[in-house]
Structure 1
Amino acid sequence: MGGSNPTDHPAPPESPTPPAPPTPPVLLVVYGRGSATARGVLTAGRRLCTAVFLGDLGDPKVAADLAQLPKSATVVDTSGLTEEQLCDRAAEFGAAGVITFSDHLLRTAAAVAARCGVPFHDRATVEVLVDKFRQREALAAAGVQSTACRTVHSAADLGPALAATGLPAVLKPRSGAGSVDTCLVRSTAELADRYAEFTEGVASPAVFVLEEYLVSDPTVVGEFWGDYVSVESAIRDGQIRTLAVTGKLPLAPPFRETGYFTPALLPAGLADEVVALEQRALRALGIREGVTHTEIKFTPAGPRLIEVNGRLGGHVSDVLKRSAGTDLLALALRLALGAFDPPEPVLALGADCPKVAFQYFLSPPADGLAPGPGEVLDGLHHLPGVDLVDATIDPSWRADWRAGTEWLIGTVYGSVPGHPELRATVEGIHRTMADFWS
């Protein structure tokens, strides 16, 4: 007789196979010298994306940065590749986004983004972001701000350019960053000398611009503080969201930044005025995607634009994260991947921003100076609010103003309860450093 064996039991149903975790989207990082380190990008992108770094390993600084990444990181050497070859290589990764933190790589990043079909500054927008002359032209054409500016291709252009700008004027590379080879000129002779210094012995000299000097009004925020600020914004499909207004310490000659702090210290209503000007400029330049860093100066005629940068501002992410908890670098990565979730803007001290975070740059007050003994810097650790002194002392190092904001030996990091406390700490740093440079 047929039948079931009473000792037989039906097999238990198979447990369903758990779904595989979603594959993180690929973010192409067009990497070069800029406002974020490779390790910083990798850390900010953890659990968010798979970062693929496209970098020119023929550049010693870039090669050294990328060599610090774990072996599991994907690095593509772009040295020797044409733009078409680089874009073809980039397209193999099926990327969801593209980002760069380097001014001189904005054109490359735009080409890669176009090839991969992901949002980024379009090529026309990139041209006004990396070309100081074209940016001035675009802002004037849109009625945002007219600033006298002329290109200088050779010494023969100096006279006509100076006739348009008047004195004093600012001489700088047409495409550049970090105040490199940027100076104030007060006479025809000084202009000729500086231009000769920048171009002498150079096989293919850069094109420079000479532009009107924006006269400062130190009464707006007080002479102790810098006479300018930066505005950080996130833009998605043309929608602009302000992230923060960053305060500055006074420039060192000729145009070297000496430090940042967040939030800025501004009279009532001025933050709104600054943000309104910044947003008019972003729209005039056609910026529809990404994170921007816009510098604005206080003048007797009111706030005026220094320049608009189409990438994250250097050092800003650190002070904003420590003051208000906003991770601007991670936000920039999310934005590149299609998310748009900016927090409330950081404009003043309050519940959302309970302290002032700062960075002070250890740069010399004049050219040709040498660093002193390291033990002098030990005194900085005892100042109120100082959390870290990150400095490298090379006795053979000498100051060179032409290097711009790279002309420093380190940075002091810290945070304090308010702006009066920040002033006291900065004054303490000044006293300590007066005994350091020789």
Structure 2
Amino acid sequence: MGEPALPVLLVVHDEGSAAPMRILAAARGLCRVVLLCEPDRPRVAEGLRSVGRHAEIADVTGLDTEAVGRLAAGFDPAGVVTFSERRLRLTASVAEACGLPFHTGETVDVLTDKFRQRRALAEHGVQDTRCAVVPRTGGADDVDGLDAALARVGLPAVLKPRTGAGSVDTCLVRSADECRSRLAEFAQDRDDPGEFVLEEYLPGDPDQAGPGWGDYVSVESVVVDGEPRTVAVTGKLPLAPPFRETGHLLPAPLAPGAAADAVRLERRALRALGVRHGVTHTEIKLTPAGPRVIEVNGRLGGHMAELVQRSLGYDLVAAALRLALGLPVDSPETPPGHGRGTGPGGVAFHFKVVPPPGAPPPDRASLVERLMEVPGVDLVDLADLTEIPGPSGWRAGTAGAVGVVYGSAPDHAELRKVLDRLRELLDAAWRTPEPEAPRSPFAHPRTDVRWPLITPHP
């Protein structure tokens, strides 16, 4: 007799937190993966090229939700999962059509709709953060609606799309005119601008994590039958303007009590939103009044699987697959939030390369070589640097980074030195000579266009 057939796991695939190669590696010997996707979409096609014929693909291009459900059911799947924010709703529909566990449609609504999520957290007594829906354009015909939103939320406030991820088109507004201008700018460049929300700005407490670190963390959890199992409390590097992530570190530079407070808040939020199944990524702001929820995401966070595996030896992608298949899921051996010291292998980090606007593109090969010479750096992954985003490049949010530096340090103090050196090298790479002009004894020979890091977060 031959080996028993592996169970089929449907992965509703798109841009997200796990590439096809990573998913197939975690699935080896566990299940047969079928990727439900639109394979001709550029970003999707790019990831599929790395796995070639090893990927089994079900093309859903042009199919409506019901047709996708019928296609999915034909595989007689044992589970379904997604690592993509934009595919949460479709995955919930597939799960319902196939009778499989996943977030319910109602839970997906509050996970992907920032206004509904704020309202649900307030209704369940978790956190009342002022939030209002604002008109699409902010034009003259919408003044009453915008004025009402500003009166409800106050200034300064955070303006962001009602749905979306990665801090795309997310900014701080300090006046009604600035808010109206940003709304008009965003709507002009979007085929479907959708709705935006205006949220209460949460001030950070830099003393919680300490100088040099971001004033927010994320909590990574595996939720089994409605019970969150905390995998890690992930520290952050300071943000680039306006709200762009520049990196992560594990363990977070928090005292054990502060990490425990963040975990308690995260668990209350997950239960309030009805999350009963899956891997979650919850961002928590560290404020003078204690931890506050930034947002809850119903899928694996970007870069989190690799960081957690390097730091804790725990495979979050494999955990997501096992959970989707209804198999037992272990918890990590190392307790999350293990203080200001180090994890079992020191402090693992990701440092995102975020160029300042309009910087000249440096030579990629020589920059990689210089960055790799920094002690503690294990890998430098840089994209094509022939074009650096212009002044409005911040609108791409997290996707505006042009690369990632991976590495580790013995402890947080040593990590500061590594990061300082990386920033020095990048600052030098971004500098550009001034345009030629008549010589003057008062002229500066060079212009430093470094982009300073900040700590606020929406």
TM-score, normalisation: structure 2:
0.89
Aligned partner of 1:342 in structure 2 is 331
Gaps of 5+ in 1: 1-18
Match 2:201 to one of 199, 204, 213: 213
Query: 2:354, 2:342 → 1: CA distance?
Result: 34
Aligned partner of 1:170 in structure 2 is 158
| 2:304 equivalent to 1:304 | no
Aligned partner of 2:369 in structure 1 is 378
**1:272-304 deviations in Å (ceiling 9; x for gaps):** 111000000000000000000000011111110
Instruction: Give SS of 2:348's match.
Output: strand
Aligned partner of 2:453 in structure 1 is none
| 2:133 equivalent to 1:151 | yes
Q: CA deviation at 1:47?
A: 1.1
Aligned partner of 2:416 in structure 1 is 423
Instruction: Give SS of 1:71's match.
Output: helix
Aligned partner of 1:285 in structure 2 is 273
Q: CA deviation at 1:347?
A: 2.1
Instruction: Give SS of 1:232's match.
Output: strand
Distance 1:317 1:141, change over 3 A: same
Contact 1:370 1:398 in 2 (8 A): no
Instruction: Give SS of 1:368's match.
Output: coil
| 2:110 equivalent to 1:110 | no
Query: 1:433, 1:25 → 2: CA distance?
Result: 47
Q: CA deviation at 1:393?
A: 3.0
Aligned partner of 1:237 in structure 2 is 225
Query: 1:371, 1:249 → 2: CA distance?
Result: 24
Query: 2:423, 2:353 → 1: CA distance?
Result: 10
Instruction: Give SS of 2:25's match.
Output: helix
Distance 1:433 1:85, change over 3 A: same
| 2:400 equivalent to 1:395 | no
Query: 1:394, 1:228 → 2: CA distance?
Result: 30
Instruction: Give SS of 1:307's match.
Output: strand
Instruction: Give SS of 1:54's match.
Output: strand
Aligned partner of 1:140 in structure 2 is 122
Match 2:13 to one of 24, 27, 31: 31
Aligned partner of 1:124 in structure 2 is 106
Match 1:409 to one of 379, 402, 415: 402
Instruction: Give SS of 1:220's match.
Output: helix
Match 1:354 to one of 323, 340, 345: 345
Query: 2:342, 2:387 → 1: CA distance?
Result: 47
Contact 1:136 1:147 in 2 (8 A): yes
**1:60-113 deviations in Å (ceiling 9; x for gaps):** 111222233231421011110010000000001111111101111101000001
Contact 1:296 1:303 in 2 (8 A): yes
Distance 1:299 1:45, change over 3 A: same
Query: 1:58, 1:148 → 2: CA distance?
Result: 41
Query: 2:172, 2:16 → 1: CA distance?
Result: 24
Instruction: Give SS of 1:255's match.
Output: coil
Contact 2:38 2:44 in 1 (8 A): yes
Whichever residue aligns with residue 386 of structure 2, its letter is P
Query: 2:189, 2:167 → 1: CA distance?
Result: 21
Instruction: Give SS of 1:378's match.
Output: helix
Distance 1:219 1:351, change over 3 A: closer
**1:21-57 deviations in Å (ceiling 9; x for gaps):** 2211111000011111111111111111111001113
Aligned partner of 1:228 in structure 2 is 216
| 2:325 equivalent to 1:325 | no
Gaps of 5+ in 2: 432-458
Whichever residue aligns with residue 77 of structure 1, its letter is D
| 2:90 equivalent to 1:101 | no
Query: 2:362, 2:343 → 1: CA distance?
Result: 40
| 2:42 equivalent to 1:60 | yes
Contact 2:383 2:402 in 1 (8 A): yes
Whichever residue aligns with residue 429 of structure 2, its letter is F
How many residues are treated as equivalent by the alignment?
419
Instruction: Give SS of 1:269's match.
Output: helix
Whichever residue aligns with residue 99 of structure 2, its letter is G
Whichever residue aligns with residue 341 of structure 1, its letter is D
| 2:62 equivalent to 1:80 | yes
Aligned partner of 1:4 in structure 2 is none
Name which of structure 1's ranges 151-160 and 133-142 shifts more when overlaid on structure 2: 151-160
Task: Give the ranges of 4+ consecutive aligned residues of structure 1 lying more than 4 Å apart after TM superposition.
Answer: 349-352
Distance 1:94 1:419, change over 3 A: same
Match 1:255 to one of 215, 233, 243: 243
Instruction: Give SS of 2:53's match.
Output: coil
Query: 2:189, 2:425 → 1: CA distance?
Result: 39
Instruction: Give SS of 1:436's match.
Output: helix
Whichever residue aligns with residue 360 of structure 2, its letter is A
Contact 1:416 1:422 in 2 (8 A): yes
Q: Which has the larger radius of gyration?
A: 1
Q: CA deviation at 1:203?
A: 4.7
Aligned partner of 2:259 in structure 1 is 271
| 2:422 equivalent to 1:432 | no
Whichever residue aligns with residue 85 of structure 1, its letter is A
Query: 1:139, 1:179 → 2: CA distance?
Result: 21
Match 2:173 to one of 167, 185, 189: 185
Contact 1:377 1:432 in 2 (8 A): no
